[in-house]
Amino acid sequence: SEHNPLSHSLLQSRVVLQIWTHVFSYLSVSDKLSIRACCKYFRKLIDHWSLWRGWTVVLTFKSGSYTKRFWNSLRRRKVTSMVVRSPRAKDWRQLCSELPHLSSLVLEQSVMENLGFGKDFPHLERLAIRNSDVVIDAHKRTHLEQLTQLSLCDVTFPIKSSFLPFISHLRNLTSLTCHNSGTSVEPIWIMETILSYLPNLKDLSLSSKRACVYVPKRPLNERISSLSTLELIQYSDHFFPVNTMKKVPHLNSLSVFSGNDHQRMMPSASSHLVFLLNKWLQDLPKLTKLAVTRGPPVKTYVTSIPATVTSLALCSSVLSSEDMTSISAQLPNLLHLHVDPRPSHQRVNIAQIPVLFPKLRSLKLRHESVPEKDFLHLHRLQHLEHLEILDGAQSPLHLSDELRALTKNRLHVGSSPRHSDPMLCECIHQVY
């Protein structure tokens, strides 16, 4: 067979195919699509599934239904992740028929009712529904037991008690986001209910406004949850209870986002948030990661931050140089720091960061109005590996180059990346 010209030709074709595929793997999506339009040969090569790993397609249906050739192309690429915006019933039926093997689906701006997500997509593991008037009838079997990640934002349930029957079937969930969904009731039972019925849950994100709440008619399971990550969007007219953290003593990561500007809060609401934050932090002895956005002044709760915290993010908060000194004393082993004070004229003394936090491995901050010599002081952070400049588009390029040179290219300097995971809810990012 080694003298067979046909076999030799096939081998050459395979080698050429592998070379082209390798070359194309370095191209951006827009460049791939430009080359794909050149000829049939390149169209076939560009559609190779290995070039589209982790890629998410967004369908808008603005120009009507998509063609058969379009769906064939998506199948060749083995697309498993999709964002669907404003679909009509016939668009949904076509999607179910053409791509039943989707494992990740985001539905936005929809007005359809009683969609059979699990029945239509039997391999679905990640589901997000946002900005929609979709009515989920929890009393009908949803066939979603295989879901591991669910995100609900502005989702309607027929009656306030229907959330629990819906969620109680999803025993394999490891991640749940529930923002502004359900009915407008006090979020008293929300944590207890969710943690009791979802034993495998690791990541939970909740808003206190229109929380998905059900008050159980029987006592809840009193077991301690193994939840590791918790995000709370706190609104001043609806507060999470003071004992919220009692059920999650093993929590590693806590993020608290204030849905209202702290400086505009009523004094009573402001002082209550300070009280809650202090109490929550005191109840989390194993916390390693803390993020507070639009929160009260750092000085009002810094002494309650557990010394075990190695990652800290303070965004849109009142933050002074004295606060930074207090943080340094409270968190001597801080490795990751993200500071973005508001108002912007409240600049942090950048030159003091290497003195206050000598062990830092990653740092996020703004360059805005910081003297160049102060910014270059960051090269003194001997363990710093990543520096993210939040306003990188306005930052002079030569500063990044100088920092790299001063650290002998040890330091990676970049700007804030766009959030690439379509499952992430915009509620969190809008708070920043």
Residues 152 and 173 grouped into a single domain: yes
pLDDT the model gives residue 185: 47
Regarding whether 67 and 20 lie in a shared domain, the answer is no
| 100 and 169 both lie in a single domain | yes
Q: Check residues 75 and 414 and name the one with the higher pLDDT.
A: 75
* 298 and 428 belong to one structural domain: yes
In this structure, the answer to whether residues 6 and 101 fall within a common structural domain is no
Same domain for 91 and 5?
Answer: no
Residue 59 shares a structural domain with residue 183: yes
pLDDT in tens, 137-177: 655 556 788 899 999 888 776 665 566 677 778 889 999 99
Q: What is the pLDDT of residue 137?
A: 60
**Cα–Cα distance measured from residue 151 to residue 138, given in angstroms and rounded to the nearest whole number:** 16
Same domain, yes or no: 159 and 256: no
DSSP-derived letter for residue 385 is: -
How many folded domains does the chain comprise? 3
Closest alpha carbon to 333 in 301, 367, 356: 356
CA-derived radius of gyration, the chain: 25
Count the neighbouring beta carbons within 10 Å of the beta carbon of residue 298: 23
Q: Stretch 90-98: mean pLDDT, rounded?
A: 91
Domain of 369: which CATH number?
Answer: 3.80.10.10
DSSP 268: H
Q: What is the mean pLDDT of residues 272-297?
A: 92
Helix then strand then coil, % of the chain, to nearest 5:
35, 20, 45
Continuous segment of H or E residues that includes residue 401: helix 397-406
Provide the domain limits for residue 80.
54-227
Q: Which of 194, 210, 227 is the last residue of a domain?
A: 227
pLDDT single digits (tens) 351-402: 899 999 999 999 999 887 788 888 899 999 999 999 998 887 666 778 888 9
Among 197, 227, 257, the domain-final residue is 227
Give the separation between CA 259 and CA 323, rounded to whole angstroms.
23
Q: Residue 97 maps to which CATH number?
A: 3.80.10
- Whether 6 shows a pLDDT value over 60: the answer reads no
- 104-132 pLDDT, tens digit each: 999 988 877 666 676 789 899 999 988 87
Q: What is the arithmetic mean of pLDDT over 257-280?
A: 77
**3-class SS of residue 292:** strand
> Which long-range CB contacts under 8 A does 110-116 form with residues at least 24 apart?
110/84, 110/86, 110/134, 112/87, 112/88, 113/137, 114/140, 116/142, 116/143
- Domain match, 130 and 244 both: no
